[in-house]
Chain A
Amino acid sequence: MYAQMVDTGVKAVRAAADMSAEERAFQARIDADVKVEPKEWMPEAYRKTLIRQISQHAHSEIVGMLPEGNWITRAPTLKRKAILMAKVQDEGGHGLYLYAAAETLGVSRDQMIADLHAGRAKYSSIFNYPTLTWADIGAIGWLVDGAAIMNQIPLCRCSFGPYARAMVRICKEESFHQRQGYDIMLTLARGTAEQKAMAQESLNRWWWPSLMMFGPSDAESVHSAQSAAWKIKILSNDELRQRFVDQTVPQADFLGITVPDPDLKWNAERGHYDFGAIDWAEFQNVIKGNGPCNRDRLRTRVKAWEDGAWVREAAMVHAGKRAARAAKQAA
């Protein structure tokens, strides 16, 4: 997902017997669905895991602006261009809400950005794939934002107040993103044979990376189990992935394009679609930094940060001068 494989720093899920009195009281409040607020006592591992998870989520929003930003100047109409700019601007806003939520845990924005630029912090694997055609803008909105919504709606109920509140805001805006993507796909699917082929080709490239967004099967992951106990992970990777497939396949059928999976078929007994094996070697490779665009994405972010340094500095100096002048006049 936008936060994949988040390390909780624990080797086994914390059992009540291993907990201090404070920690037991904390877990009891979580079990009772009481929200945790920033100034309250929390286990150090909970704090650190949330910082990792929320900052990874924030980085994904910001890096996610790049593949789409790539098409702003080449959008096919002025209307599509205005819509895409609004969408990319939303992603910037989502990054900001999330960075702000992480900052309440005591980490600075600059520190999080430094961690991203140094490769210490991750962002979602999906944004390391290139946007080669206009149809990719449709596929991203439809599939990638669709997958994000699937993950983010349950997170509106997560145990950490500022994260849950940020998720509520984000979910409200995200559904515009998914619909604008599907609208692009619909237009292509109803267009010329060439346009329809473009939609199909884009689905072919984005389908499997979209399924990988949910991360590896977490049945055996101690981190996932601990995050579930803390209620900062609500549904398992596999559950979310299955929901996504069940929801998306009929949408592809409506478009008249084919999901690139020969093993995909409806299983009436389970009431779900069965689908083929995911290439986890590819996923691991992208996570390790060797996807098609990893280096390019990071280089672009670092350059934007460095090129903007003088603006950040000048604004601070200007604000300081104005404040000093105002103080002098008042004296």
Chain B
Amino acid sequence: MTSEWPLWEIFIRSQHGLAHKHVGSLHAPDAEMAIKNARDVYTRRNEGVSIWAVRSADIVASAPGDREPLFEPANSKVYRHPTFFPMPDEVKHI
């Protein structure tokens, strides 16, 4: 029994010029094979024009338990949204 091929996370940029988006993962022995496999698995229907492959082990993620301290402070700062400032109807183009 050999060791499993490492896991890679795959990110694809679609044709519309948007940022690379996570589409899923796959196993591959190295970076070159990760790109080749990603092409076969995730771009069979013209889904993308560029592939990023990142070893899953190299991804640093926030912990689910930190959700409150990380994201709660933004809740009270509604003035960060443009809709916080009501504009008179007479004022245009703003």
* Chain A residues proximal to chain B, CB less than 8 Å: 37, 39-41, 86, 89-90, 93, 96-97, 100, 103, 108-110, 165-166, 169, 173, 309, 312-313, 315-316, 318-319, 322-323
Contacts and interface: CB of A to CB of B under 8 A. Distances in A.
Interface of B: 1-5, 7, 23-27, 29-30, 33, 40-41, 44-45, 61, 63-64
A169 B29 CA distance: 25
A315 B41 CA distance: 19
A40 B64 contact: yes
Contact of A316 (B5, B7, B25, B64): B5
Nearest to A41: B64
A19 B80 CA distance: 40
B44 A316 contact: no
A84 B7 CA distance: 29
Instruction: Tell me if A's interface is mostly helix, strand, loop or mixed.
Output: helix
Contacts of A97: 24
B5 A89 contact: no
A252 B45 CA distance: 30
A154 B27 CA distance: 28
B24 A309 contact: no
Contacts of A39: 61, 63-64
A109 B61 CA distance: 22
Nearest to B42: A93
A39 B65 CA distance: 9
Contacts of B24: 96-97, 100, 165-166, 169
Contact of B4 (A40, A109, A169, A322): A109
Given A100-B25, A166-B24, A108 B4 contact: yes
A37 B64 contact: yes
B7 A103 contact: yes
B61 A318 contact: no
B29 A318 contact: yes
5 contacts: A93-B41, A109-B27, A165-B24, A315-B29, A316-B5
